[in-house]
Structure 1
């Protein structure tokens, strides 16, 4: 063999080199699965099929966890976003509604003839479509003050209320001021078929207030309470029911005896339900059939019933001024904590 020729490596040496190479390849593959924060790379949300010009709700991905929690839901995530409140139709022809599962907070309000309307408040997440959108009431203005200057989507109002709304501290994104985000669905008759794009609505309210403290406190359940499986709140011509699901750790909602459904997505399942007793205020407004519009005071104080974790807690509520939030306390004066997640507040007028 010439002196310049190298020796052929032995078989054991070749095997050792192969093992080392495999180890380095495995380490490189593992390193490639980490994102910048050092955790697993997020998965893309499952796409939802959206029919053409038909109302549908596209669920938003789970928010990325941060150190702070939303003042509206108690959940961590990117919650410092503009607030959008939308008035939702709630008569039989308007159901199933669209997009309510994405709301941080849903208010139930009594209207003319003993019926009910909803006000859905969005900030943490936005559905692709929300509706049907219906008219505003004078009580809405007092409820909205605690959010600062939110965007408010509605379709029409009493002619004597419109000038008051024009002076209210809110960003009006009704069809008269923000027409392009709205469209009519083709699956039901007007006026129960007006829908809107929340993203489009907020684009017309670039200065809408971001989410802020409205008095809610979230955390472990307080001591006491009583075990309940369901609770029903009745208006003269409407009833809303909440049934506890131990497996889902959420309240399942029904309206007029029927389980709530949504188009294009899952129904809303609140973690906390508040039945807030409110005083009736005088009103000179009404509908064309002569029914007086119920007007109530969300500023003041009174009794409440809080449902969470399959238990009912007697509580007190207090909101000294319109620009401040509503605090809830136990009979002992301690904070009444809510379970993190979507919150429903049902305003209950005296009989």
Structure 2
């Protein structure tokens, strides 16, 4: 009870707007992250606009209960002052992160039945109960969509670009060919993402459920978007409302669409085992390059 009380005090006392005090963090809990920092970010309407997404190196979108969406933002080269709102972890996250070298997974909590899997996973799991000084409640969104993480208090400094290598992306020239594409919409049962090419921003303007996806008042425009077609099936978990938790299978092989430079290329993805990283290739087997900057990966069924 004492631990719970201390945690609650840390999360509710001194509430500020997202990012408040983020640049004045004291010494971090850990001197350095053992790997990439992955943060589970809420993506329902009451949680928008989010904070800290613009600094993410890679953002994965995944389907959750009732056909809604959630984000997992990966930070390897830059740590923002704050990230959030932070929500709970899913089984998909554990499989997806298995290919990284000892990543840090920051999340708000999980189902009790999932905790043994999280504890057994080769990652460092971080929730508010472990290091409450790294978390706070913001005042701009209603609870439970108001929990934020101060990454620098948790991992100290970025792990470096090399920690993202298993993601399967390498910056470089675009593949030969490609087909012009100005707009792409990806639909989940109860959510949708639209990416519109902007030559001015040299990126894909992101909309979620028909509204601009912004951070700090500026619409996100990642230079590269990968629409990865996977099998999405019901897992053995359910939420409190009885909705089955979807599981996106990221081990195996399949097809994907690479969007960059205002064009699209059909590519293939391959990940033989959970311990392997994902490899994206063109039809002739050549590794796919991404443009310089943020990458979005949309995990979806075809």
TM-score w.r.t. the length of structure 1 is: 0.75
Q: CA deviation at 1:173?
A: 1.3
Give the structure 2 partner of residue 4 of structure 1. none
1:176 aligns with 2:129: yes
Where structure 1 has 5 or more consecutive residues not aligned to the other structure, the ranges are 1-50, 61-79
- Count of aligned residue pairs for this structure pair: 279
Where structure 2 has 5 or more consecutive residues not aligned to the other structure, the ranges are 1-13, 24-32
Contact 2:186 2:193 in 1 (8 A): yes
Contact 1:273 1:307 in 2 (8 A): yes
1:237 aligns with 2:190: yes
Q: Which one has the bigger strand percentage?
A: 2
Give the structure 2 partner of residue 347 of structure 1. 299
Match of 2:145 among 181, 188, 192: 192
- Per the alignment, do residues 146 and 55 of structure 1 end up closer, same or farther by CA in structure 2, a change over 3 Å counting? same
Question: Which string of whole-angstrom CA distances, capped at 9 and with x for unpartnered residues, describes residues 259-299 of structure 1?
Answer: 1112x363432111000011234511011111100012111
Give the structure 2 partner of residue 213 of structure 1. 165
Cα RMSD (Å)? 2.5
Larger Rg: 1
Q: Secondary structure at the match of 2:71?
A: strand
The residue correspondences of 1:70-149 to structure 2 (distance < 5 A) are: 82-149=35-102
TM-score w.r.t. the length of structure 2 is: 0.86
Q: Secondary structure at the match of 2:97?
A: helix
Contact 1:150 1:208 in 2 (8 A): no
Match of 1:55 among 9, 12, 18: 18
d(CA) in 2 for partners of 1:105, 1:82: 14
d(CA) in 2 for partners of 1:59, 1:238: 31
Give the structure 2 partner of residue 280 of structure 1. 232
- 281-290 vs 159-168, greater mean Cα deviation: 281-290
d(CA) in 2 for partners of 1:180, 1:209: 27
1:316 aligns with 2:279: no
Q: Secondary structure at the match of 2:165?
A: coil
- Per the alignment, do residues 162 and 210 of structure 1 end up closer, same or farther by CA in structure 2, a change over 3 Å counting? farther
d(CA) in 2 for partners of 1:340, 1:298: 24
Q: CA deviation at 1:248?
A: 1.5
Contact 2:35 2:102 in 1 (8 A): no
Bigger RCO of structures 1 and 2 (CA < 8 A, at least 6 apart): 2
- Per the alignment, do residues 338 and 178 of structure 1 end up closer, same or farther by CA in structure 2, a change over 3 Å counting? same
Q: CA deviation at 1:249?
A: 0.8
Q: Point out 4+ residue stretches in structure 1 off by more than 6 angstroms.
A: 57-60, 205-210
